[in-house]
A = this chain, B = another copy of it.
Amino acid sequence: MGRGQTPATWVPGADGSGFGIEHLPYGVIRSGAWSPRSAVRIGDRGLVLAPLAAAGLLDSVSEADFGALRRALEGPTLNRLLELGRPTWSRLRARLTELLSAGNTEVDDAGIAGDALVPLAEAEALLPIEVGDYVDFYSSIEHASNVGRLLRPEGDPLFPNWRRLPVGYHGRSANVVVSGTPIKRPLGQSAPETPDGPPRFGPESRLDFELEFGFVSGEGPTGGGPIPTAAAGEHIFGFLLVNDWSARAIQAWEYRPLGPFLGKAFATSIAAWITPLEALEPFRVRGRDQDPAPLTYLSDRHWALDLDLEVVLVPAGSGEGGAARETISRTNARGLYWNAAQQLAHATVAGAAVRAGDLFASGTISGSDPGTQGCLLELTRAGEEPLRLGGGVERTFLEDGDEVILSGAGAPGEGRPAITLAEVSGRVAPAS
């Protein structure tokens, strides 16, 4: 908020923070007063929703079953809210916007502002969802092309299917963790030094991050069934940053012919706060051209998201003030070749069932210019060209103690508020 503008919310410090009233991302927090409960973030506070429901302030949200929303908000994750579906999500967001607007005194009048509005400095943001299935796509053509060139220099970097469907695979949902969780370097097999020798075994030598953007779903059609691109908005609850940590040496040895397994199954970090679809509407733009034109069920280019993304690396041993932190990649989510509606339509076309709390991630997001790649494999050309950081520090892959922070924002402009995506951080811990 510029000086002299009318405040948008009565919550101090929230206007213009990137977590203003136009954003209201959902998460789960725990504090001295609260066991894990659903909340929306506004400024540097979490607004716990259960006391609002208990005080009757959310009664207008439920059209039929007045108890369903209240029960959903008493769960330790967002899953039960996700089960309630788009109409409830939209009414809840509208009502929360009303309650938090400047001049609205209902929360204060109910005498619950002190309890419900928790400073995040005094709370812990937990994993917001219990993930059902986790699908990871491969939807950046720059990333897929770069990786293809590095791994298969002899042939076409993209397989013939790549431009025809959003390639993806299932990851391990049990290892999805919230931002801030330490990432233990995995142990595992990698390729032998000589063709007939035994595989190497030990701590992963090529630990990498992957800058991704993902979405969390509500339920799909009962029993499984296609979600057409036109219905994506009914099923997509919101978006969040994802770091799909990758063990490149493990992956390179294991992945043929059934794809990544352990190299992607030790940790996937997600943001603590999920940005609702509505908050991103001002940033929806027409996506890039797709040539050849995709099949009809994948035909929808109106889901690109104009969001700036960046990766900060804080090398091990940096000063407490983070003096040596460096931005090592800057890109934008709008460059993704396949969008969320296409991903969801493809994932469900053959009958896959979708549950509330499923996670779908984009795959690494890379641009075409230097410094826009979303993982070290690309930024260092598979370790051939080390990143030179300040103070003479170099990196090919991640070292123990390194911290990676993914962040993103929608730039304010005509009709666009400032939106800051909740960051995803993780520091590498030694193998054990």
A interface residue numbers (CB < 8 A to B): 132-133, 135, 138, 148, 151, 159-161, 164-165, 167-175, 184, 186-189, 191-192, 195, 198-199, 201, 204, 224, 226, 247, 250, 253-263, 265-267, 292, 295, 297, 346-347, 349-355, 358
Among A186, A247, A265, A295, max chain B CB count under 10 A is at A265
Q: Do the beta carbons of B132 and A175 come within 8 Å of each other?
A: no
> A201 is contacted by which of B192, B259, B295 (Cβ under 8 Å)?
B295
A260 cross-chain contacts in B, Cβ below 8 A:
169, 258-259
Q: Which residues of the partner chain B approach A256 to less than 8 Å between Cβ atoms? A: 159, 161
Contact A198 B167 (CB under 8 A): no
**With contacts A161-B254, A224-B174, A262-B347 known, is A295 near B199, CB below 8 A?**
yes
Closest residue of B by beta carbon distance from A164: B199
Let me know if B173 and A253 touch, CB within 8 A. no
Interchain nearest-CB distance for A199 vs B (Å)? 5
Verify A258–B224 contact, CB threshold 8 A.
Answer: no
**Also in contact, A169 and B261, with CB within 8 A (given A161-B254, A175-B224, A256-B159):** yes
The docked-state distance in angstroms from the alpha carbon of A268 to that of B183 is 32
B292 touching A349, Cβ below 8 Å: no
Copies of this protein, total:
2
A297: chain B residues at CB < 8 Å are 201
B174 touches A261 (CB 8 A): no
A262 touching B224 in the complex, CB below 8 Å, given contacts A167-B254, A169-B169: no
Q: State the CA gap A174–B348 with chains docked (Å).
A: 12
Q: Is the CB of B350 within 8 A of A295?
A: no
Q: Is the CB of A258 within 8 A of B168?
A: yes
- How far, in whole Å, are A175 and B174 apart by their CA atoms in the complex? 17
Known A257-B159, A262-B349, A350-B250; contact A170-B167, beta-carbon cutoff 8 A? no
Q: Tell me, rounded to whole Å, the shortest Cβ–Cβ distance linking A111 to chain B.
A: 36
Q: How far is the CB of A41 from chain B (nearest CB, A)?
A: 26
Given the known inter-chain contacts A258-B138, A349-B187, please indicate yes or no for A172 contacting B174, CB distance below 8 A: no
The complex places the Cα of A171 from the Cα of B354 at a distance, in Å, of: 13
CA distance A138 to B198 in the complex (A): 20
Bound Cα distance A358, B250 (Å) = 23
How far is B161's CA from A189's CA once the two chains are assembled, in angstroms?
10
Please measure, in the bound complex, the distance between the C-alpha atom of A259 and the C-alpha atom of B133, giving whole angstroms: 16
A195 to B164, CA, bound (A): 12
Q: Flag if A351 contacts B267 (CB, 8 Å).
A: yes
Shortest C-beta distance, A152 to chain B (Å), equals: 8
Known: A172-B170, A224-B174. A351 touches B266 (CB 8 A): yes
Which chain B residues border A167 with CB–CB below 8 Å?
Answer: 254, 257-258, 261
A422 to chain B, nearest CB (A): 23
What would be 15 A-B contacts, judged by CB atoms less than 8 Å apart?
Answer: A132-B174, A161-B254, A164-B189, A169-B259, A170-B172, A170-B265, A174-B353, A198-B295, A201-B297, A247-B350, A255-B257, A255-B259, A262-B349, A262-B352, A265-B352
Nearest-neighbour CB distance to chain B for A171, whole angstroms, equals: 6
